[in-house]
């Protein structure tokens, strides 16, 4: 079945904005503080924007090497939300 | 044997992102890579797979397979609900890559498209299509994601290019031209040909055509007069030889929606609200395509296996939410009310280009038009269903927009609601 655990909780994020070629910038959330734990992300799976009315939400699918996290960044209110986790220990 | 093959250079490139939705999920989620996963429109006990990963396909789990069947084949099977904005990003990036190589690009569906390189020699600067194909593969990995792979087929026409793209899944790059066409046909079965399924397969076998090579050898008259009994026979004759038979524009014939009722019921209020919601979203599609409709059809399927359908053709066209719902609700009132509805749908047909720019002489018609425009503009800016009819409230809560197969025209519209 669907292994996604939905959380929808606001989180503290340290993000990196890296120059990617001459024009593009790669935005990447590197670290997250969640329930007192520091989680360091190692890889970005995919980033995609999604419009909710006039608000632009950027969705980041990242991994810390064991679990996958879905983070959403509200570009209007500048709020980071941990939307869901997919545990990596799936058989 | 002389087959009269098209000896022109192959100039059509077919790019196919196989298992697109499942691959997009595996791209996004590292923990799902290498695992049998599927994507469905709405997670439920009896939901079915709309895209399966390669790992799932290897276990026999295919598109259309029910969740229970998939779980029986593989207890560790993972089913995810579809995420349209994610797939749209992949679609946009793929389209953007393709447009860098030729202005003549046509997406055939959400996950596959064609680049026509005819007349593009100056743009290619002496590079072969195979080189460009390899470059596109690398760009897909760099720009969409390292786990994303595409199949590329190069041939003189669309049919053979698609066939070539399917030869070495999931990461193939193949060319079919007049030199290897016969060898490729030798390696395929009749139903491997795109467009030949059970029905056409049976027809061909009834005329002693059992293999693609025998199909190629078949006489033009045999195909058009006896096998297909239409112009289709001639199209197949040309298509098989590498001549273009599929470069045409299709016309929009109908616009509609259907929905599997979340809780099968005969409750008039609930059904009416959901149907009203379907009518409003269909009206939205209609306006998005800038057309108006004269014909309206409503259909229902019931729990006892019975079916209801009613349609009516009007003298005047309609496009506003109010008009469409009025016509739909009249047909809906004719249903057998005591039966439990399992699936419902409606479609609008007999479409014609919109005449909305022509102002009406009648104040009521003008007002309805202004109201529709105002509601559309507000919904466009603040998100779809910021304003909606009160009666559709129940429908708004229950009916979800899902991924359509086939055309890509609605995709941007649907994303506003995702």
Residue B153 has what pLDDT? 96
Q: Do A45 and B79 touch (CB under 8 A)?
A: no
| Phi/psi at B122 (5° precision) | -60, -35
B223 belongs to a structural domain: no
Residue B77 has what pLDDT? 92
Domain ranges of chain A: 5-86
Chain B residues with CB under 8 Å of A4 CB are 80
CATH number at B156 reads 3.30.70.270
- Angle, helices B268-288 vs B363-382, to 10°: value is 90
Asked if A33 contacts A55 with a C-beta cutoff of 8 angstroms, the reply is no
Chain B residues with CB under 8 Å of A23 CB are none
ipTM: 0.87
Partnered with residue B39 across adjacent β-strands are: B51, B80
Q: What is the DSSP string of B169-192?
A: TTS-EEE--TTTHHHHHHT--GGG
Q: Of B187, B211, B236, which residue sits at a domain end?
A: B187
CATH number at B316 reads 3.30.1490.100
- B183 CA to centre of own chain: 31
B230 belongs to a structural domain: no
Residue B261 has what pLDDT? 87
Alpha helices in B187-229 (DSSP H): 198-206, 212-217, 220-221
Chain A residues with CB under 8 Å of B76 CB are 90-91
Nearest to B27 among A1, A45, A88 (CB): A45
Peptide bond into B170 cis (omega under 30): yes
Q: pLDDT tens-digit profile of A73-83?
A: 998 899 999 99
Residue A38 has what pLDDT? 94
Three-state DSSP class for B413? helix
Q: In what order do the strands lie in the sheet with A12-20?
A: A12-20, A24-34, A37-40
B309 belongs to a structural domain: yes
**Residue B122 sits in the same domain as residue B13:** yes
Nearest to B79 among A1, A67, A88 (CB): A1
Q: Give the closest residue to B392 by CA, choosing from B276, B285, B261, B284.
A: B276
Q: Do B29 and A63 touch (CB under 8 A)?
A: yes
B244 Cβ neighbours under 8 A, 6+ residues apart: B156, B157, B158, B238
Q: Of B166, B187, B208, which residue sits at a domain end?
A: B187
Residue B408 has what pLDDT? 54
Can you give the pLDDT of all 418 residues of chain B as single tens digits?
788 899 999 999 999 988 899 999 999 999 999 999 999 887 877 788 989 999 999 999 988 899 899 999 999 999 998 888 898 889 889 999 999 998 899 888 888 999 999 888 777 788 899 999 999 999 999 999 999 999 999 999 999 999 999 999 888 999 999 999 999 999 999 999 999 998 999 999 999 999 999 999 999 999 999 999 999 999 999 999 999 988 877 777 888 988 888 888 999 999 999 999 999 989 988 888 889 999 999 999 999 999 999 999 999 999 999 999 999 999 999 999 889 999 999 999 999 988 877 777 888 888 888 898 898 888 877 777 788 888 888 888 777 766 554 455 555 555 444 3
Residue B359 has what pLDDT? 78
**Residue B49 sits in the same domain as residue B155:** yes
Q: Of B187, B215, B235, which residue sits at a domain end?
A: B187
B120 belongs to a structural domain: yes
Residue B272 has what pLDDT? 94
Q: pLDDT tens-digit profile of A52-89?
A: 777 789 999 999 999 999 999 998 899 999 999 998 75
Q: Do A2 and B80 touch (CB under 8 A)?
A: yes
Domain interval for residue B5: 1-187
Nearest to B29 among A45, A47, A52 (CB): A45
* Dihedral, B95, B97, B98, B99 alpha carbons, nearest 10: 80
**Residue B10 sits in the same domain as residue B110:** yes
**Residue B157 sits in the same domain as residue B264:** no
In degrees, to the nearest 5, what angle opens at C-alpha B110 toward C-alphas B105 and B116?
A: 15
Total structural domains in chain B? Answer: 2
Chain B residues with CB under 8 Å of A48 CB are 85-86, 88-89
Q: Do A68 and B30 touch (CB under 8 A)?
A: yes
Q: Count A/B contacts: CB-CB distance under 8 Å.
A: 69
Residue B413 has what pLDDT? 53
CA–CA separation, B418 and B405 (whole Å)? 16
Q: Give the closest residue to B273 by CA, choosing from B90, B281, B94.
A: B281
Helix (H) or strand (E) holding B142: helix B129-143
Three-state DSSP class for B141? helix
Q: Do A90 and B145 touch (CB under 8 A)?
A: no
**Residue B146 sits in the same domain as residue B275:** no
Q: Is residue A53 within 8 angstroms of chain B, CB to CB? A: yes
Helix (H) or strand (E) holding B415: helix B411-415
């Amino acid at each position: 079945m669907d292994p996604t655990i939905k959380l929808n909780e606001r989180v503290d994020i340290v993000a990196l904005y890296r120059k990617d070629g001459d024009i593009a910038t790669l935005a990447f959330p590197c670290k997250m503080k969640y329930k007192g734990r520091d989680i360091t992300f190692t890889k970005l799976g995919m980033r995609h924007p999604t419009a909710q009315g006039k608000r632009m939400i950027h969705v980041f699918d990242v991994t810390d090497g064991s679990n996958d996290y879905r983070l959403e960044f509200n570009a209007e209110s500048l709020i980071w939300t941990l939307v869901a986790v997919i545990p990596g220990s799936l058989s | 044997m002389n087959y009269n093959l098209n000896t022109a250079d192959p100039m059509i490139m077919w790019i196919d992102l196989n298992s697109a939705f499942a691959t997009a999920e595996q791209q996004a989620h590292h923990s799902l890579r290498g695992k049998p996963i599927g994507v469905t429109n709405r997670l439920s006990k009896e939901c079915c797979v709309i895209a399966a990963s390669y790992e799932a396909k290897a276990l026999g789990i295919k598109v259309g397979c029910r969740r229970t069947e998939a779980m029986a084949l593989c207890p560790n099977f993972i089913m995810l609900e579809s995420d349209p904005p994610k797939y749209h990003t992949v679609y946009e990036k793929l389209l953007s890559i393709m447009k860098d190589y030729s202005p003549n690009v046509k997406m055939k569906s959400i996950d596959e498209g064609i680049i026509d390189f005819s007349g593009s020699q100056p743009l290619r600067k002496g590079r072969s299509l195979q080189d460009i194909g390899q470059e596109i593969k690398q760009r897909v990995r760099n720009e969409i994601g390292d786990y994303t792979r595409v199949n590329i087929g190069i041939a003189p026409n669309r049919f053979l290019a698609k066939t070539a793209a399917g030869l070495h899944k999931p990461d193939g790059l193949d060319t079919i031209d007049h030199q290897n066409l016969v060898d490729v046909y030798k390696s395929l079965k009749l139903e491997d040909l795109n467009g030949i399924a059970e029905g056409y397969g049976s027809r061909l076998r009834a005329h002693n055509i059992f293999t693609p090579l025998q199909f190629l050898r078949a006489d033009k008259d045999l195909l058009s007069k006896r096998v297909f009994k239409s112009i289709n026979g001639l199209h197949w004759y040309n298509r098989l030889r590498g001549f273009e038979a599929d470069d045409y524009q299709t016309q929009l014939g109908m616009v509609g929606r259907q929905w599997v009722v979340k809780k099968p019921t005969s409750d008039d209020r609930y059904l009416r609200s959901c149907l009203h919601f379907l009518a409003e979203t269909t009206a939205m599609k209609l306006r998005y395509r800038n057309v108006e409709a004269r014909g309206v059809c409503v259909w229902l399927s019931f729990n006892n296996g019975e079916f209801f359908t009613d349609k009516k053709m009007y003298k005047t066209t309609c496009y506003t939410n109010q008009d469409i719902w009025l016509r739909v609700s009249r047909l809906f009132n004719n249903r057998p009310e005591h039966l439990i509805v399992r699936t419902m749908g409606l479609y609008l047909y007999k479409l014609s280009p919109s005449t909305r720019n022509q102002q009406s002489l009648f104040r009521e018609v003008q007002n309805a038009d202004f109201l529709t425009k105002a509601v559309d503009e507000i919904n466009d800016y603040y998100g779809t269903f910021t304003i909606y009819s009160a009666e559709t409230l129940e429908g708004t809560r229950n009916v979800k927009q899902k991924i359509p197969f086939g055309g890509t025209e609605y995709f941007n519209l649907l994303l506003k609601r995702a």
